Structure 1
Amino acid sequence: MTDSGIADQINAVHRQVRDAGTGRGPARSIVMRRTFDAGIDDVWDACTDAERLGRWFLPVTGELRLGGRYQLEGNAGGEVLRCEPPRLLRVSWGMGEPGAGGSSEVEVRLAPDGDGRTLFELEHASVVDPEFWDTYGPGATGVGWDLGLTGLGPYLAEGAAFDRAAHQAWSESPAARDFLVASSAAWGRANEAYGTPAGTAAAMTSATTDFYAPPPTTTGE
């Protein structure tokens, strides 16, 4: 992904931070909204079919049906809470054993957006530890989703020609670090729009950037 490609990817997404709720109480949400050049059935299938999801996101196991449990390889797992093809999917989202950790839910909403296009919206609502939020703000979750979703657009455009290995190699490259820095800054702007004072939002952005994209190490003699 070139510098212009990074800018296009960042600018294609509308980011929002808002108060929300989960089954376990008040929460904060990060919301990401963008349009893909693919039909709604194709986008839905790419996000809910285990084989296709594994091509651009992460391998997944489990029962991908209402009430079923899923597990993303090396990442989160949970329960399918709502499934209304091809428009709405909501899952619980947690690390470790079922029921462990905090309360978190992810909802994907799809809607037709003109001829052959789909409006994609992802909302991740979490009951966040106040100290953690005060340190990192929304970028702790938002930057991870920005990176995770970088493969969806190319996969929808390229289909079977999509090179997962090449995409994985890019995610570990210096260009990916530039993308993470730009994503963190974008979530900092969304944080300010949410009402966080500029100085506080800037400190959160700095902490998030240092976590996801620490400065390259240099070795001296």
Structure 2
Amino acid sequence: MIDVETQIESVSRSVGTRVLDTGWARVVGLRQKFDVSVEELWELCTTAEKISRWFLPVSGNLRIGGRYQLEGNAGGRIEACKPPERFTATWEFGGEASWIEPKFGRAADAKSVLELKHIAHVDDDQWAEYGPGAVGIGWDMSLMGLASHIKSGESVNPESGAEWGASSEGRQFMKLSSDAWRAASVASGTEPNEADAAADRVIAVYTADS
């Protein structure tokens, strides 16, 4: 694993909204630069064998119209794909459906950049309860796995990842992630005291079994 503070600071986070055909939605965004080519980053994020090296084992048909399933996590359908620039997919988990939009580009001071947006219909009560950290912390942990794999070249075992999440370093990472999402929420217009309360509740959920 790489230094947790360095990883947290390497990610830009945003919170916004979007109007879809299905109604008004929340948008949680993350952006990070990587020292690999755009083509290599695309392969790491779209090839089943390579996804399993830093995230989770995935099965299914990874092409437009095909369905995928991450082991023990979300599944969905690939809705759009333009290699090596972007793809869009549904993100179906726990009986709820949302969308992910990863985009891949070149950066001036790095070889590539990944911009990920997670779009979901979230009612006001649920948003006030947990804020953007509800999904943001999970995506931060995923980017941590990707960055670690790129740096070391070694696969990230899901079991060792779970053990790391329960460690003092893992708990520190989740707390720093929660703090960062709290700041992004305030920047989007949330009252600081409301963002604080949501951040406290969401980190309590993430660390409950740690």
What TM-score results when the alignment is normalised by the length of structure 2?
0.93
Match in the other structure for 1:219: none
Match in the other structure for 1:29: 27
Q: Which runs of 5+ in 1 are unaligned?
A: 217-221
Candidates 186, 189, 201, aligned match of 1:195: 189
Q: How far 1:44 moved relative to its partner?
A: 0.3
**Identity over aligned residues, as a percent?**
39
Q: How far 1:158 moved relative to its partner?
A: 2.8
Q: Which runs of 5+ in 2 are unaligned?
A: none
Q: Write out the 4+ residue segments of structure 1 that deviate beyond 4 Å after TM superposition.
A: 165-168
Matched, 1:75 2:73: yes
Match in the other structure for 2:39: 41
Equivalent pairs counted in the alignment come to 209
Please give the alpha-carbon distance, in whole angstroms, between the structure 2 residues aligned to 1:131 and 1:200: 12
Q: How far 1:169 moved relative to its partner?
A: 3.3
Please give the alpha-carbon distance, in whole angstroms, between the structure 2 residues aligned to 1:169 and 1:205: 23
The answer to whether the 8 Å contact 1:103/1:126 transfers is yes
The answer to whether the 8 Å contact 2:55/2:156 transfers is no
Candidates 7, 10, 17, aligned match of 1:9: 7
Q: How far 1:9 moved relative to its partner?
A: 0.6
Structure 2 vs 1, CA of residues 23 and 74 (structure 1 numbering), >3 Å: closer, same or farther? farther
RMSD, aligned α-carbons: 1.9
- Residues 104-126 of structure 1 show CA distances to partners (whole Å, capped at 9, x for unaligned) of 10010010113761011000000
Please give the alpha-carbon distance, in whole angstroms, between the structure 1 residues aligned to 2:167 and 2:19: 36
Q: How does 1:121-132 map to 2 (within 5 A)?
A: 121-132=115-126
Please give the alpha-carbon distance, in whole angstroms, between the structure 2 residues aligned to 1:215 and 1:53: 26
Match in the other structure for 1:133: 127
* 2:28 partner letter: I
Match in the other structure for 2:49: 51
Deviates more, 1:144-153 or 1:64-73: 144-153
Please give the alpha-carbon distance, in whole angstroms, between the structure 1 residues aligned to 2:20 and 2:97: 7
The answer to whether the 8 Å contact 2:33/2:112 transfers is yes
Please give the alpha-carbon distance, in whole angstroms, between the structure 2 residues aligned to 1:121 and 1:10: 15
What TM-score results when the alignment is normalised by the length of structure 1?
0.88
Please give the alpha-carbon distance, in whole angstroms, between the structure 2 residues aligned to 1:95 and 1:177: 24
Deviates more, 1:12-21 or 1:188-197: 12-21
The answer to whether the 8 Å contact 1:14/1:34 transfers is yes
Please give the alpha-carbon distance, in whole angstroms, between the structure 2 residues aligned to 1:166 and 1:214: 18
Structure 2 vs 1, CA of residues 53 and 27 (structure 1 numbering), >3 Å: closer, same or farther? same
Match in the other structure for 2:167: 173
Question: Which has the greater radius of gyration?
Answer: 1
The answer to whether the 8 Å contact 1:33/1:122 transfers is yes
Matched, 1:117 2:111: yes
* 1:34 partner letter: Q
The answer to whether the 8 Å contact 1:24/1:103 transfers is no
Please give the alpha-carbon distance, in whole angstroms, between the structure 2 residues aligned to 1:116 and 1:183: 23
The 3-state SS of whatever aligns with 2:117 is strand
